[in-house]
Structure 1
Amino acid sequence: MKPVAGAIQPNQIQVAFSDFKEITKARLAVSVVFSAVAGYFLGADEIRFLPLLLLAVGGYCMVGASNAYNQVIERNLDALMHRTKNRPIPSGRMSVAQAMTIAIVMTVAGIVLLYLLNPKTALFGTLSIFLYTCVYTPLKTITPLSVFAGAFPGAIPFMLGWVAATNDFGIEPGTLFMIQFFWQFPHFWALGWMLDDDYRRGGFKMLPTGKKDTGTALQIIMYTLWMMIISIVPVFGITGRLHLSVPAAVLIFLAGLVMLWFALRLYELRDRASARKLMLSSVTYITLIQIIYVVDKFLS
């Protein structure tokens, strides 16, 4: 039997779904949602399914919208780089209008869903879209300080979960924010080191010194140390309701030492392989410590 003219074929649906995942950067969005959910578990007195669902779906919408806006803005630059030239817009599989429609719909849906949790959560979610799209994205071709600007929206998710659970912003979500804030620097500079040649094709300035040199490597080490310190601050009992037991703090510190070791190796070798290992260790670190925080809360 021949397919009906004009009917949507299964492969078209697959391509459209694949492009949707790519325009919203699904893997990144899921990792962000994981951070927000971890923050929710830390802040909640009791775990309720509906707020958790609103946070997860609303959070995905906000991250997906930010990534869609980003790819609309950078579509011409994406076409110049090997790793991004096959994205939906530069490849021609998706129009700018389609991408903007996705971004706007997800923005509205995300704000509404997070507002149903509480206004503060919606406010921080909206702020993350604004900072990512209107500050971080345009700065990427102007100054390496774009990474500093991008660290703000990047650090919101862990904090957002706490605010979603408590409708309160204080020292606890502030501490969660600072953990993920300092983590951003070694993570993205390692990524920037790996992809420096490709970033240069697009005109992006991602490394703090503009070069893959000892200066960049030293700053990676410095921010890794700050990250390690702030990650164990709750063990000293100075962060309100956010607690950390001594065994949990030791585990987190050891995980930080592993990441620091990879940062030191990058300083020593200054090669792409070392940068990749540091980047992967940073992803493992942030996921692991969030799990440790949550498990420690329910075991302590």
Structure 2
Amino acid sequence: MKSAVGSVKSNSLSFVLSEFKEITKAKLAVSVVFSSIAGYFLGATKLDIVSIALLAFGGYCMVGASNAYNQIIEKDLDAIMKRTKNRPLPSGRMSVRTALTIAILMTLLGVVTLYILNPKTAMFGAISIFLYTSVYTPLKTKTPLSVFVGAIPGAIPFMLGWVAATNDFGIEPGTLFMVQFFWQFPHFWALGWMLDEDYRKGGFKMLPTGKKDAGTALQIILYTIWMIVISIMPVFGFTGRLHLSIPAAVVVLMAGLVMLVFAFRLYEKRDNGAARRLMLASVTYISLIQIVYVLDKFIS
């Protein structure tokens, strides 16, 4: 009997954790935290475990809150799309009240935690939530320019880590912001290309031309080129304390050129397979260059 009760409790806890991970989009949140910690390593003159823990916890809370608000707002649209219809809210496994409680608590915890680091970090975290939920989310069904707006909060994490470490915003975190800002266009347009049919069901306008055509593919190529240019800028000494050695810059450049090849292949083939390969290449690229930036700092 005791083992049966224990099994029920275990299953209940597992279910709650599973739903929490879905409403906060745990994989996405963890990748954002990774970007923030990479930015912290780049900005810090000495590493502080407590600060890193606060940044990780606060960062997860802010991203998790944004994702929860997003799913609350888009609950009815999510129910229409195959990709999202089994999320906690449209499936009915979680109530809007519960999701809103989670979102509000995580917002408060996130802002307070980041404020302990410094007020600037909390401010940028709060701006990220506001733009994502109050501007980007409503615009997704109105105009393809929503991707441009969404790229702003999406680019904050890499920058946020530097601000958390230094309590300062200048050319260095600005450069980190621009790297991740330009990266998001090929990444999300490749994703939008793959999921275009499903997005259309929900009324989302994610592709720049509204179609899976040469115009969209060309814009992906152009933004990928800008991403590469920004990513290697620190090697030229224009970016303050943010440096990149020549060998590291070569690695970053080669990674960018690989991604550019996938972008050209999408222009050539214009199919979902090419879009998927570009999307996966973009995920590899952003993680790789963040690791290269950090390793280069400590090795150099």
* Structure 1 and Structure 2 fold alike (TM over 0.5): yes
**RMSD between aligned residues:** 1.2
Partner of 1:151: 151
Summarize deviations over 1:196-247 as a string: whole Å, max 9, x none: 0000010000000000000000000000000000000000001000000000
State the identity as a percent: 75
**Once the two structures are superposed, what CA deviation does each residue of 1:86-111 show, in whole Å capped at 9, x if it has no partner?**
00000000000000000000000000
Residue number in structure 2 paired with 1:29: 29
- What's 1:119 paired with? 119
Q: What is the alpha-carbon distance in structure 2 between the residues aligned to residue 243 and residue 131 of structure 1?
A: 30
Unaligned runs of 5+ in 1: none
The corresponding residue for 1:165 is 165
Between the aligned partners of 2:201 and 2:11, the Cα distance in structure 1 is 33
Structure 1 or 2: more helix by fraction: 2
Q: Quote the offset at 1:11 in angstroms.
A: 1.6
Map of 1:118-267 to 2, 5 A cutoff?
A: 118-267=118-267
Counterpart of 1:18, as a letter, is: S
- Taking structure 1 as the reference length, the TM-score comes to 0.98
CA distance in 1, matches of 2:4, 2:215: 62
Q: What's the TM-score once normalised by structure 2's chain length?
A: 0.98
The one-letter amino acid of 2:286's match is: I
The alignment partner of 1:274 has SS state of helix
Q: Report deviation, 1:287.
A: 0.1
Sort the Cα spacing of 1:2 and 1:229 in 2 relative to 1 into closer, same or farther, 3 A: same
Between Structure 1 and Structure 2, how many residues are aligned?
299
Secondary structure of 1:90's match? Answer: helix
Q: Any residues of structure 2 matched to 1:260-275 within 5 Å, and which?
A: 260-275=260-275
- State the alpha-carbon separation in 2 of the partners of residues 280 and 137 from structure 1: 24
Secondary structure of the 1:9 match is helix
- Residues 260 and 9 (structure 1), Cα distance of their counterparts in 2 relative to 1, 3 Å cut: same
Q: C-alpha separation between the residues in 2 aligned to 1:15 and 1:212?
A: 38
Task: Please tell me whether residue 94 in structure 1 is matched to residue 78 in structure 2.
Answer: no
Note the alpha carbon deviations across 1:37-68, whole angstroms, 9 max, x for none.
00000000000100000000000000000000
Matches of 1:112 and 1:81 in 2, distance apart?
35
Deviation at 1:13? Answer: 1.6
Q: 1:2 deviation in Å?
A: 7.2
3-state SS, counterpart of residue 89 of structure 1: helix
CA distance in 2, matches of 1:82, 1:75: 13
Unaligned runs of 5+ in 2: none
CA distance in 1 between counterparts of 2:12 and 2:207 reads 39
Residue aligning to 1:65: 65
Instruction: For 1:277 and 1:4, locate their aligned partners in 2 and report how far apart those are by CA, in whole Å.
Output: 46
Q: Give 1:186's aligned amino acid.
A: P
Does residue 12 of structure 1 match 2:12?
A: yes
Shift of 1:12: 1.9
Report the alpha carbon displacement of residue 9 of structure 1 after superposing the two structures with TM. 2.9
Q: Which amino acid aligns with 2:191?
A: L
How far the C-alpha of 1:17 sits from its partner, in A, is 0.7
Map of 1:44 onto structure 2: 44
